Structure 1
Amino acid sequence: MSGLPLSGIRVVDYSHFLAGPYMARCLAALGADVIKVERPGGGDPGRVHAYMAGDVSGYFLQQNMGKRGICVDVRQPEGLKIVEDLVRGADVFLENYRPGALEKLGLGYEALAAINPGLIYCSVSAYGHTGPDAGQPGFGLIAEAKSGALAQMGNPGEAPPLLRMPIADMYTGIHGVAAICAAIVGRHTGAGGQHIDLALYDCMVSMHDFAIQAYTISGGEEIPRQVGHDLPDATVYGVFAACDGYLVIAAQVDAIWQKLARLIGGDALAADERFLSSARRNANRPEALGYVTAWAAAQAGVKHCIGQLTEAGVPCAPVQRIDEVVNDPQVAARNMIIEQQHPELGTLRLPNLPFRFSGFSAPLPKLAPSLGEDNSEVLEELGYSQEQIASLARAGVLSTA
């Protein structure tokens, strides 16, 4: 490949917090020129979201690297015109406001498609632009709860735990990347512009690999519920305690169970008819788990367990803390932590994106922009003179940090 796959694609990022900014960050990493548009008075609320180092948000730095940024008051006619000028030469406009909010500002799909009929306009919201809940506000937690995901988590009889990673937002964001790339290809084959309508709730419902098909195919008899630390339909597949921490073991496949059984109980356990098939292990789950639990607890620790399981060919992993993840040699080998130099914070170490291509290596992304950092550069590209830019700044149409 001669360059990054989205080189020459311009994206107007009119989003905030997470799903939209993450989507735009991915597009920037793939080569798109992403211009983040923020409003005066603080810009993206993600700028004050933890973790904070002084007045700098690591959250914002992570989700907005690789972008240029302008700060425009679109409630003023001159500010709206700037965004319209951007859209005329853009390929993609993405936003994650409640349905109807941008129509009031003159930035809805119909208004912008009239300016640029080939525009790919991607909307992200809690419930989408149709249906009885379309107007309801929501965050990732709302979608995770309504989707049935939380109801399957945790121990029976206890309140479900929170997902400490933003699954709904990130999953929707990467679906947006896929949909936008598909729409770009479709435009080259004559499909024209598109309005992509993504909902956090839809994406979480689509993520069910088992629960929905189990419920519908069983005629409503099978409702997956909280099961604690393992899966009752995939014995042995779960979390086990060693004397100094926890590990996971995935021995739900017959051939792998045989390897695990020989390790923890010798040939006698491997030949035990109660456990010779997946169905039998599921039927005798407490007994099967009892052997594995007792073995793990009797070892010299997680590392010792992992060593024996790995040698036996049983898939396993330690339950790592985040400090262990950051210092994991595999993470380093895959370049999943990148370093950037910040003028105030010094060296930053932030998560990389997982894209790997044989034809190119992505360059180190630029720091997330300060508020209005690229006002002059972007407006000059749109044909504004320095005098016009200075006048717009004096009028409050443009703002900087």
Structure 2
Amino acid sequence: MQQLPLDGIRVIDYTHFLAGPYLSRCLSALGAEVIKVERPVSGDAGRQHAYFINGQSGYFLQQNMGKKGLSINLKDPRGLELMQKLADSADVFVENYRPGTLDKLGLGYKTLAGRNPGLVYCSVSAYGHTGPDSHRAGFGLIAEAKSGIMQMVGVPEDAPPLLRIALGDMYTGIHGVASVCAALLGRVKSGRGQHIDLALYDCLVSMHEYAIQCYTLSGGQEVPIQTGHDLPQSTLYGVFRAKDGDLVIAAQVDDAWKRLADLLGNPDFAADTRFHSAAGRNKHRLEILPVVRAWTAQRTVGECLAALDAVDVPCAKVQRIDEVLNDPQIIARGMVIEQEHPLVGKVRLPNLPFHFSECDTTQSMPAPLLGQHNREISASLGYSSKDIDTLFAAGVLYAEEAVAKLNL
């Protein structure tokens, strides 16, 4: 087995909630030493986010596994000095505060890069560090609304639904992983780090694989709108209701469509040349959809899937989360991991989708308690035991009560 790809890389994670913590969680899984820096007493706001068990947030546990925890008062000059020394020792610094916030604190890119020219500094924000909206606060929901994605989801004439997954945060976070790794590779050649400026809004706009080119290439004539349960530009591709649940069918390519038409037993579909091309099926989709809906409505989901699988038409049940967790494919791929947490006991959480042939990126170390690794991290920067005790007594370093019990 090889070492993990980022073994030996030190990352400072000064982020909260989701995009930043997810980014640094991925870097940790890839082998980096990630130090999670939090404010005293309250810590990352994600610690107050449901679901809770024994006072611990599952939200925080999921996005911060594999990290070491440092809780420090950065408003105290001694705390800021410790943080700057920590950044001097780091390869990567990740933050997701509103642009300009960390400059005022003495932790902006120019300040830290002036001390450590090799530092890769990754900023995640709602709108980025340039442009007329750069000063505005925002969350994934804001980016989803602004990007045009939300407007295309849901049933016509109804308000768009919430997506129920943090698309903007997670997509931006994984772009951060790619950018940081690229910048680290670039540093090998140049010897210098750089500032990465990532915006949730930018990332979601870049995600449009169809809508933007559809609009621009049509001269502004085509504006994608809500279509409900199918895609008018990809017939047949959508959600269909069966007797006991819902399923999706993806028969938009010619060969799959022909197999579906034969399965439906509708001789007109198989013979009518109007349906032999994607353009023809799209044009006449309102003739096709009722026939497919009637076919699924007469059968259970299992019966539909069995029939579709038998003729190699891509399909799947619309699964609940309990069904996902018990899916043999998810189990075989190791996409749910079990960890032992000192306060909670055994916890099961989603794994990351990295599968390397020569190393295992599954994280066994749970998320840190608040301030759990204060002493270890401070000592690595040259602070003596007496120095560390002084910082604790002055409130510069903070650890929740449970940390002391761990060290008994």
Smaller-chain TM-score bracket:
over 0.9
CA distance in 1, matches of 2:177, 2:114: 24
CA distance in 2, matches of 1:7, 1:252: 44
Partner amino acid, structure 1, of 2:186: G
Query: Are 2:303 and 1:304 aligned?
Result: yes
Q: Secondary structure at the match of 1:238?
A: strand
Is 2:54–2:344's contact at 8 Å kept on the other side of the alignment?
A: no
The CA deviation at 1:53 is 1.7
CA distance in 1, matches of 2:381, 2:191: 27
Is 1:36–1:69's contact at 8 Å kept on the other side of the alignment?
A: yes
CA distance in 1, matches of 2:268, 2:119: 66
Partner residue in 2 for 1:293 = 293
Partner amino acid, structure 2, of 1:265: G
Q: Secondary structure at the match of 2:288?
A: helix
Is 2:65–2:368's contact at 8 Å kept on the other side of the alignment?
A: yes
Q: Secondary structure at the match of 1:249?
A: strand
Partner residue in 1 for 2:339 = 340
The CA deviation at 1:46 is 0.2
CA distance in 1, matches of 2:347, 2:204: 32
Normalising by structure 2, we get a TM-score of 0.97
Alignment of structure 1 residues 161-310 onto 2, 5 Å: 161-190=161-190, 192-265=192-265, 268-299=268-299, 301-310=300-309
Partner residue in 1 for 2:52 = 52
Partner amino acid, structure 1, of 2:309: T
Q: Secondary structure at the match of 2:265?
A: helix
Partner residue in 2 for 1:375 = 374
Q: Secondary structure at the match of 1:400?
A: coil
Partner residue in 1 for 2:392 = 393
Equivalent residues, number: 400
Alignment of structure 1 residues 325-336 onto 2, 5 Å: 325-336=324-335
CA distance in 1, matches of 2:33, 2:363: 14
Alignment of structure 1 residues 80-91 onto 2, 5 Å: 80-91=80-91
Is 1:274–1:281's contact at 8 Å kept on the other side of the alignment?
A: yes
Partner amino acid, structure 1, of 2:85: D
Is 2:144–2:150's contact at 8 Å kept on the other side of the alignment?
A: yes
Identity of aligned residues (%): 61
Q: Secondary structure at the match of 1:123?
A: strand
Q: Secondary structure at the match of 1:172?
A: helix
Partner amino acid, structure 2, of 1:35: I
The CA deviation at 1:55 is 1.5
Q: Secondary structure at the match of 2:397?
A: coil
Partner amino acid, structure 2, of 1:233: Q
Is 1:15–1:21's contact at 8 Å kept on the other side of the alignment?
A: yes
The CA deviation at 1:41 is 2.8
Q: Secondary structure at the match of 2:141?
A: helix
CA distance in 2, matches of 1:99, 1:55: 32
The CA deviation at 1:291 is 1.4
CA distance in 2, matches of 1:384, 1:84: 14
Alignment of structure 1 residues 1-16 onto 2, 5 Å: 2-16=2-16
Alignment of structure 1 residues 64-213 onto 2, 5 Å: 64-190=64-190, 192-213=192-213
CA distance in 2, matches of 1:363, 1:246: 33
The CA deviation at 1:298 is 1.1
Q: Secondary structure at the match of 1:189?
A: helix
Is 1:29–1:365's contact at 8 Å kept on the other side of the alignment?
A: no
Q: Secondary structure at the match of 2:190?
A: coil
CA distance in 2, matches of 1:298, 1:288: 16
Partner residue in 2 for 1:43 = 43
1:363–1:102 Cα change, 3 Å = same
The CA deviation at 1:275 is 1.1
CA RMSD of aligned residues (A): 1.0
Per-residue Cα deviation, 1:59-92 (whole angstroms, up to 9, x for no partner): 0000000000100001111101111111111100
Is 1:302–1:318's contact at 8 Å kept on the other side of the alignment?
A: yes
Per-residue Cα deviation, 1:1-59 (whole angstroms, up to 9, x for no partner): 63000000000000000000000000000000000000113110000101112421000
Is 1:48–1:55's contact at 8 Å kept on the other side of the alignment?
A: no
Partner residue in 2 for 1:349 = 348
CA distance in 2, matches of 1:202, 1:268: 46
The CA deviation at 1:249 is 0.2
1:399–1:228 Cα change, 3 Å = same
The CA deviation at 1:365 is 2.8
CA distance in 1, matches of 2:146, 2:395: 42
1:107–1:326 Cα change, 3 Å = same
Q: Secondary structure at the match of 2:62?
A: helix
The CA deviation at 1:197 is 0.2
The CA deviation at 1:344 is 3.0
The CA deviation at 1:193 is 1.2
Partner residue in 2 for 1:366 = 365
Per-residue Cα deviation, 1:224-283 (whole angstroms, up to 9, x for no partner): 000000000000000000010000000000110001111112555322223111111111
Partner amino acid, structure 1, of 2:366: L
CA distance in 1, matches of 2:112, 2:191: 17
Normalising by structure 1, we get a TM-score of 0.98
CA distance in 2, matches of 1:40, 1:204: 33
Is 2:352–2:362's contact at 8 Å kept on the other side of the alignment?
A: no
CA distance in 1, matches of 2:110, 2:278: 54
CA distance in 1, matches of 2:221, 2:265: 36
Q: Which stretch has the larger CA shift, 269-278 or 316-325?
A: 269-278
Runs of 4+ residues deviating >6 angstroms: none
Q: Where does the alignment leave 5 or more consecutive residues of structure 1 unmatched?
A: none
Partner amino acid, structure 2, of 1:10: R
Is 1:13–1:93's contact at 8 Å kept on the other side of the alignment?
A: yes
Q: Secondary structure at the match of 1:303?
A: helix
Q: Secondary structure at the match of 1:239?
A: strand
CA distance in 1, matches of 2:53, 2:181: 35
